[in-house]
Amino acid sequence: MVALEDTALPHGITLRCHTAGERGRPVLVFLHGFPEGAFVWDAPLEHFAQPAHGGYRCVAPYLRGYGASSSPTAPEAYRARHLVQDIAALIAAECGDAPLACLVAHDWGGALAWALAHEHPELLQRLAIVNAPHPGAFARELAHNPAQQAASRYMHFLRRPDAEALLAEDDYRRLFAFFDAPGCISPAWLTPAVRERYRGLWRQGLTGACNYYRASPLRPPRKDDPGATAVQIPASFLRIDVPTLVLWGMNDPALLPCLLDGLPDWVPHLTVQRVAGASHWLVHEQPQQLMEALAAFLLTNP
């Protein structure tokens, strides 16, 4: 059974979390992306909390700016250092002095997970990424690859000052369209019940979610905005030394497979699983495959 808990962090942010499993057990933390919420991880939380599947303490926060978690209004409050601080503090609150068994993350959650694994490798034993590009690869492709630039053009829309109002129009038509398959086909997993969970989340506010895009320098360049071409990430900031699993839905229309190129140069302890037929929403589309891959990864030596 998934429970709701509020975790007050020392720096004044509170994260509303979905949790399963007993405190004191090894901990798994799951991070969602845009425009999702912690509930997308409910099935893995319940699965891995069971004694037969590890008996983990499982925690999925609503990220800063989402749902009932703290939602500062200023875009500057969504810079990477603040978001990473939230997750590091959550891990400390859950694990004490022990390392996290694994950090599992999708989309924007993955961006935070890559950064945390670089800055604080001592906090986690393993990293599992689901369709979230390594910052070195994302900066490279946004700066130089026209196909990825075109696929990421939506980022400029989400930076608009009126983005929240436009996203809320017509029963969140534009937000639901992010989930559509090619040809504007609503996917089978997006049932009426799942739609209502998303509506309930989005009714709580969209400014925080849009502020992730407003605060980030990684976006496609255009005539009035150099975007990623102005970003220089030192090579020393790109290395990930913890064992890492990357699951990648190969039909992702927003994050292209070219983002997997060069990963072993930055992530020496790397396993990549390409998932044919899955899109960006692999967590919804292939939950069983995700849980099986994560279970096998958790059995590897950290």
Q: Over the stretch 106-155, which tens digit does the pLDDT of each residue have? A: 999 999 999 999 999 999 999 999 999 999 999 999 999 999 999 999 99
Give the pLDDT confidence of 278-296 residue by residue, as tens digits.
Answer: 999 999 999 999 999 999 9
| Alpha-carbon gap, residue 255 to 260, rounded angstroms | 10
Share of the chain above pLDDT 90, in %: 95
Separation between Cα atoms, residue 227 and residue 219, nearest integer Å? 5
- Strands 27-31 vs 14-20: parallel, antiparallel or unpaired: unpaired
- Each domain of the chain, given as residue ranges in start order, spans 3-298
Q: Quick check: 181 pLDDT over 80?
A: no
Is the pTM higher than 0.75? The answer reads yes
The single-letter DSSP state of residue 222 is B
pLDDT at 291 (0 to 100) = 98
**Would you state the pLDDT for residue 288?**
96
Indicate the pLDDT class of residue 301, thresholds 50, 70 and 90: confident
Q: Which residues contact 244 (CB under 8 A, 6 or more apart)?
A: 117, 126, 127, 128, 129, 267, 269, 270, 271
- Residue at token pair 């044919």: 276
Rounded CA-CA distance 77/165 in Å is 21
CA-CA distance, 50 to 32, in Å (whole number)?
A: 21
Lookup: tokens for 116: 């945390």
Q: Which one is the CATH code of 3-298: 3.40.109.10, 3.40.50.1820, 3.30.360.10, 3.30.1330.10?
A: 3.40.50.1820
